[in-house]
Amino acid sequence: MTAPLVTILDDEPEIRQILTDCLQDAGFRTQSFARAREFEASLKRVTPDVCLVDLSLPDVDGLALVHRLALEQGAAVIIISGRAQVQDRITGLELGADDYITKPFDPAEVVARIRARLRSGPRSQPVSGNTAQFAGWTAHFDRYLLEDDTGDEVPFSHAEGEVLRLFLDAPKRLISRAQMQESLGGGAGDSFDRAMDVRVSRLRTKLREDPKNPRLIKTIYGAGYIFLGDVTWS
């Protein structure tokens, strides 16, 4: 079986070397590039399994490149960047990245995240199951219960469960208002938007989120929502 291929795009030689060494030690094949033009030319010859992309590139806008990769390539896209603000992470994930790692990083974490991404399968792979684990919580959709890591249980309604499942089926992806309407039903307009806002607010309360700075369910104003946690289904 051929080892997965990871392509590295970063203009810092030291970073490229660190990533190359740790990935090859972990059994991956690698190729690395300092310029986006060289990187994009290589994609015409071979499609990697994972692309590691720095946002601060000398020849192109890193976010625009991530968006193109997400739309045009079958590879998973993981951003590795020194931009550590929450809004930078949200923007990168919204534009199609599968994960976002900030510098400085632990090489072992990069390897672990790549393996997790490869285990999750292709982007289009549907998720099934009635139990999801995320951020210290377990959602039991067969019993309409949220369970925290101490065993405390919090019930949720069928309507809240529909919204939660929509988020958990597509973590780190923008869920637009139009997608919510199509998936959950209901007429377009202010009444539907308000109903969704109420459901999301209730879910945040049950997940003990800070309403001013929620860490899991983020609002992308004018667009929709994005769920930032890692999710495992069973």
> Residue 124 has what pLDDT?
45
Q: Residue ranges per domain, the chain?
A: 5-119, 131-233
In the CATH hierarchy, which fold is given to the domain comprising 5-119? Rossmann fold (3.40.50)
Per-residue pLDDT tens for 32-41?
999 999 999 9
Give pTM, 2 decimals.
0.56
In the CATH hierarchy, which fold is given to the domain comprising 131-233? Arc Repressor Mutant, subunit A (1.10.10)
> Residue 125 has what pLDDT?
43
Distance, in Å, from the CA atom of 227 to the CA atom of 166, rounded to the nearest integer, reads: 10
Q: What is the DSSP string of the chain?
A: -PPPEEEEE-S-HHHHHHHHHHHHHTT-EEEEESSHHHHHHHHTT---SEEEE-S--SSS-HHHHHHHHHHH-SSEEEEEES---HHHHHHHHHTT-SEEEESS--HHHHHHHHHHHHHT--TTPPP--SEEEETTEEEETTTTEEE-TTS-EEE--HHHHHHHHHHHHSTTSEEEHHHHHHHH---SSHHHHHHHHHHHHHHHHHTT--TTS-SSEEEETTTEEEE-S--EE-
Per-residue pLDDT tens for 81-104?
998 888 888 788 767 787 899 999
